[in-house]
Amino acid sequence: MAKKVGDLNASSQADIAFLLLIFFLVTTSMNVDQGLYRQLPPPQEKDQENHDKVNERNIFIVLINKDNQLAIEGELADISSLTERTIEFITNPKDKADLAEKVMASKKLEDATKENKVEDIKNWKKLIEQFGDIGITKGVVSLQNDRGTNYETYIAVQNAIVAAYNITRDKFSQEQFGKVFDDLSADEQKLVKLVIPLNISEAEPRSVK
């Protein structure tokens, strides 16, 4: 017969668990890290000139000066109007001559074939199959800031521009798939990204006005 073992007193287990709990509460933080992703341009090599010329109408210039004032295409503007202006610029619904041009997807495919970029050819073919031969915006948002610009203002401007792209993508996804961009599959998202590419260029640092 097995020896009887006395009952283990488990009343302190709760205390131990509480202790652990409090330890984790103190050493950890609840907030999830989040923010705006951005890809920096690769380092510029010395005495390298920027050769690829972009047509004037395809650049949407946003300036922020040291007093945190905003200028869109050379005119003082309020930050609240930036999202709307950017959307108008990239979609250019009325084909205005001073807003971004569009290039047909078939042209892009042609270019990719010429340069023999296998991956690109595949992507553009898939895109034409999915949406037909649609126009793809050539618009680039150029953001320039002064060294004295407040970081808060800078982020607000970045945010407004990204918002414009997200809204445009959402609208396009809604029309094509009946879903918002975030709910699309990875492949579908890739296609929508091809149609509405996020082009934000940040100039080499210099002082603004």
Partner 1 sequence: MAKFRKGGSRQMAALSTASLPDIVFMLLFFFMSVTTMKETDYKVKIKLPTATEVKKLEKKSLVSYIYVGAPLASYQGKYGTEPRVQLNDKISNLIDIPDYVESERQSHDEAERPLLTYSLKVDSDAKMGIVTDIKQELRKVSALKINYSTLKTERKGNY
Options 45-53, 102-110, 118-126, 162-170: segment touching partner 1 (CB under 8 A): 162-170
Contact 61, 73 (CB under 8 A): yes
Residues 6+ apart with CB under 8 A from 71: 61, 62, 63, 64, 65, 77, 209
Quick one: 45 or 129, whose CB is closer to partner 1?
A: 45
Restricting to residues 137-156, name those near partner 1 by CB under 8 A.
Answer: 145-152, 154-156
Residue with tokens 């001559």: 97
What minimum distance in Å lies between the beta carbon of 148 and partner 1?
A: 6
Q: What is the DSSP string of 41-92?
A: PPPPPTT----S---GGGEEEEEE-TT--EEETTEEE-GGGHHHHHHHHHH-
Residue 103 interacts with partner 1 (CB under 8 A)?
Answer: no
- Tell me how far, at minimum, the Cβ of 105 lies from partner 1, in Å: 26
What tokens does 205 get? Answer: 């640092």
Whose tokens are 């210039």? That residue is: 61
Which of 109, 102, 112, 165 shows the shortest CA–CA distance to 137? 102
Phi, psi for 119 (deg, rounded to 5) = -60, -45
Q: Which is nearer to partner 1, 58 or 65 (CB)?
A: 65
CA gap 130, 124 in Å, rounded: 10
> Rounded CA gap, 91 and 57, in Å?
13
> In angstroms, what is the minimal distance from the CB of 76 to partner 1?
19
Binding positions for partner 1, 38-57, rule CB under 8 A: 38-43
Q: Interface with partner 1 includes 7 (CB under 8 A)? A: no
Indicate whether 186 belongs to the interface with partner 1 (CB under 8 A): no
Contact assessment for residue 207 and residue 146, using Cβ atoms and an 8 Å cutoff: yes
Tell me which stretch binds partner 1 (CB under 8 A): 16-24, 52-60, 109-117, 187-195.
16-24
Which of 14, 97, 118, 186 contacts partner 1 by CB under 8 A?
Answer: 14
Least Cβ distance, residue 23 to partner 1 (angstroms)? 9
Between 130 and 159, whose beta carbon lies closer to partner 1?
159
Binding site for partner 1 (CB under 8 A): 10-11, 13-14, 16-18, 20-21, 24-25, 27-30, 32-43, 83, 145-152, 154-156, 158-159, 162-163, 166-167, 205
